[in-house]
Chains A and B, each alone.
Chain A
């Protein structure tokens, strides 16, 4: 009872600290519950959507001209295979929407079938109860494709096959769980049976009568693993590719696990980033509690001493601290948990347009509760540890005079001068109570560290230097010459490249050249993207060296680590019936298929592909001024033959989807950080204010105005922020890249590089400094209420 009375009174008269702990724990609980639930809901929903319509383990795209019935039979008769299903598809050269947006996805047009049974409603909140009929001239698109292109039902899409084009009106947006996500390059629109058969027949005639090798007709092969086989999808694919020849002719092979992985990659990365953020916030909450308890012991030294003199032992006093803090924490945790329910329901809606799959909105009660309970137990132990100092309170000293403030000279003391008086006094207040502000400095450091890390991450989307270091190319001018492989065409393509280089040199010069091609090949039995580069710049090597000879390859570092490949290993590479043994000369960075790729030289590719040559070249321009780029574009478009396409990229351009997502993560983290800064600064300020009430009175008696004193208060927190900024920036320089490399590993990034630019550092630093200064200034408004008469002793 005695303890309860003390807890009740402490809460009654210290509502500020109590409320702050509730708010901080509410944010932690809300975030933990949401992250834990969503980390389960995303993969579960994606898997369920996939398994609801497909039972295949491998989806394989193969040009119809390569697929023979023998190949199909060979696969079907393989002991590990349960079922093989082949569906026809049409692959256009490109597509364009009625809003003018051109697509850059690979497209496989298919005939509508019973698997397409989920049509999104207009609001995008769920599915239509009645499946609409897809009539002649109509198409249904995966939702993510439509959202990414900004088109709606009623707009149209035009597919181009060589000179011919075919338009369809968008009838519906569908859930397409195999490759519907924005993060998978291939997309499958569905048209009516009548349209498909007509179009297929028309294209078949054209393909068969053409002198050129046309790749309009495709087959989509679904392969299911035998029930008694328990191989992983990738292992199953590897065994099948080694034992049968179909795989080496495929343009692309997507296993079920790859599909699930790619579809869930962005939410997974986002949740990992937020999880790291929540861990830092939890550390901040513990620092805040430690600071709050220490300050309470210091400020209430006399009261606690009196209680001790009256027979309260240290254990009972510690129970008072434990009770009041745990009560606040439990309230915060419960409120946060309840608030997480709507958040978990509505937050996935931000991702559904990107994935096109309906995500569950259920809270993982058991796991969330277990984690939060663990957090509370940890917190209770921490509070008991921190409140240990209650045991050291001396009742005699407390009753006689209380614990007076004793300051010591500090080497950091700078004489208080007439000039910059407020700043001078603020600095003195800081240097004479450094230990008291350690918590605030630590919190500012952690916030700055995380804000810098987040800004570094988002800025990478607009930093060519950062993207280049992570393996991306950074071309400003790119030309493509889409012709067949033949010795004549190789000569023709090289001529266009030479012409392009001459034009570029007339206006500026290029500093890097990337003549690249990407082919899916079988590496050690697995269908993997192969970057073929005629130039060393095509590879960003993290270990070893670039491939120089026709029997050398480099492997994406993450892929190599996963597969256990080492430099010097000899690996079998196969492509459309040809194969060879290649030596691994190094590992490289790159974002192709989230790092799951390998690379070879043009000479290497020519050992597997007859008359191979690279038909795309990118150039990084020495002076990428928009005017210069415009002039180069204009000249190239005029001088290059019509079948060449020219693309211009201004520095710092990247995918809108990634940029928007990064910006959203940044915004959320900034908002939460600033809110945290507000709560923390308010708490520390209030305690400081109570402690320094007499000093404030003295300054007022000496003629200082409330405005002077508020400024002093705010300046002190600016100084605290300054130290936090220095430590946070140092931490960021030391660890941000490693943290991001770890968090973004699933994207294929092994060496995240932050391109520290002025704005990268400026924004977080200003955000923290301003937050500390403004919030301290706000809280210090109480200075007005301090009466000089408080100094009167009567």
Chain B
């Protein structure tokens, strides 16, 4: 029995538009489990990213509950949300969003410094370890503008992991990358997941979806399908591709 990390009940998100309401997510129920590499897929405008940010508390849900450790995120104030972001969650964005005037090392270490319970030396050591793992330790003193998109995104993943989060949210992390960099980033996320890191990722990239242990399909703000997969192995990629492809076809993707 897997432990539930995040549980959403009756989650809805709507926006005011032309005097009316546009419903992006409608009354969604969803659990995210520990250790899973969960991927949300769906057509453009289906509400994938909105779902991700509503679950992470980055965006306020219009109604419903999102619980983590028995606490409802939707009722948290800004200070509590800030604490949640640097203790429980990590984020990887499509547009990478590194702080442009901090070096790669500092981009990774700075969110770690927010955790006053950990010694700075330990954070620095762990940041070095993560950068090493991401293969960018040699360029750690460089600024983001001096690095390639792939290097930047690897740095962003290291940053997401610095506080040993319960869950990493990744919003189309390969969306702005070329093929080679995409593979590198996906390999890193897969490796992290195989070491026990829970990941919730939004993507419309079939290759990214292959890395999932669980795929949720979203249509008009509702989860209409779910596929569970064994942990990814490179040698199984072909058969996995067929299985996922067939399932996505059945979802009319």
Contact = CB atoms under 8 A, between A and B. Distances in A.
Interface of A: 404-409, 415-419, 421, 425, 428-429, 431-433, 694-695, 697-706, 784, 787-789, 791-794
Contacts of B113: 416-418, 421
A425 B79 contact: no
A787 B15 CA distance: 15
B229 to A, nearest CB: 26
A417 B120 contact: yes
Which of B78, B99, B145: most chain A CB closer than 10 A? B99
B78 A706 contact: yes
A703 B82 contact: yes
Contacts of A407: 100-101, 143, 145
Contact of B59 (A406, A428, A787): A787
Contacts of B84: 703
18 contacts: A404-B145, A406-B145, A408-B143, A409-B143, A417-B120, A418-B109, A421-B110, A432-B101, A701-B97, A703-B111, A704-B82, A705-B79, A788-B58, A791-B95, A792-B50, A793-B95, A793-B171, A794-B45
B101 A700 contact: no
Interface stretch (B33-41, B86-94, B209-217, B240-248): B86-94
Nearest to B80: A705
Contacts, number: 104
A300 B49 CA distance: 28
Nearest to A694: B97
Contacts of A694: 97
A236 to B, nearest CB: 72
B100 A695 contact: yes
Contacts of B172: 793
B73 interface: no
Nearest to A416: B106
A10 B44 CA distance: 34
A425 to B, nearest CB: 7
Nearest to B97: A698
Contact of A703 (B53, B87, B97, B123): B87
B22 interface: no
A695 B82 contact: no
Which of A415, A698, A701: most chain B CB closer than 10 A? A701
Given A417-B120, A694-B97, A703-B87, A792 B143 contact: no
Contacts of B109: 416, 418
Nearest to A707: B79
Contacts of B123: 418
Please list the 10 inter-chain residue pairs (A to B) with the smallest Cβ-Cβ separation, ordered nearest first: A703-B86, A418-B120, A432-B101, A703-B85, A418-B113, A702-B111, A788-B58, A705-B82, A789-B59, A406-B145
A702 B85 contact: yes
Contact of B78 (A418, A428, A432, A705): A705
Interface in B110-134: 110-114, 120, 123
B145 A789 contact: no
- Give the bracket for the number of chain B residues in contact with chain A: 35 or more
Given A407-B145, A433-B101, A791-B93, A702 B120 contact: no
Nearest to B159: A702
Interface in B158-201: 159, 163, 171-172, 175
B49 A794 contact: yes
Given A421-B114, A794-B50, A416 B145 contact: no
A695 B100 CA distance: 8
B169 to A, nearest CB: 9
Nearest to A430: B101
Contacts of B43: none
Contact of B58 (A419, A425, A701): A701
Contacts of B85: 700-703
A428 B101 contact: yes
Which of B83, B84, B86, B102: most chain A CB closer than 10 A? B102
A737 B63 CA distance: 68
Given A416-B106, A702-B110, A789 B99 contact: no
A701 B98 CA distance: 11
Contacts of B99: 695, 698-699
Nearest to A788: B58
Contacts of A419: 120
Contact of B93 (A416, A421, A704, A793): A793
Given A406-B145, A407-B143, A703-B83, A697 B49 contact: no
Contacts of A431: 101
Contacts of B45: 794
B201 to A, nearest CB: 14
Contacts of B58: 701, 788-789, 791-792
Contacts of B120: 417-419
Which of B85, B98, B112: most chain A CB closer than 10 A? B85
Contacts of B163: 703
A151 B93 CA distance: 77
A428 B102 CA distance: 7
B171 A792 contact: yes
B175 A793 contact: yes
Given A404-B145, A409-B143, A702-B85, 11 more contacts: A408-B143, A418-B113, A418-B123, A695-B99, A697-B97, A701-B85, A702-B91, A705-B79, A705-B82, A789-B53, A793-B49
Nearest to A709: B82
B221 to A, nearest CB: 13
Contacts of A433: 101
A239 B98 CA distance: 84
Nearest to B171: A792
Contacts of A791: 58, 93, 95, 97
B66 to A, nearest CB: 15
Interface in B204-245: none
Which of A405, A416, A429, A787: most chain B CB closer than 10 A? A416
A725 B232 CA distance: 60
Given A699-B99, A788-B59, A415 B106 contact: yes
A406 B145 CA distance: 6
B102 A405 contact: no
Which of A407, A431, A699: most chain B CB closer than 10 A? A407
Contacts of B159: 702
A415 B59 CA distance: 32
A431 B100 CA distance: 12
Nearest to B144: A407
Contacts of A787: 59
Contacts of B94: 793
A431 B106 CA distance: 15
Contacts of A421: 110, 113-114
Contacts of A417: 113, 120
Contacts of A699: 99
Which of B84, B100, B120, B175: most chain A CB closer than 10 A? B100
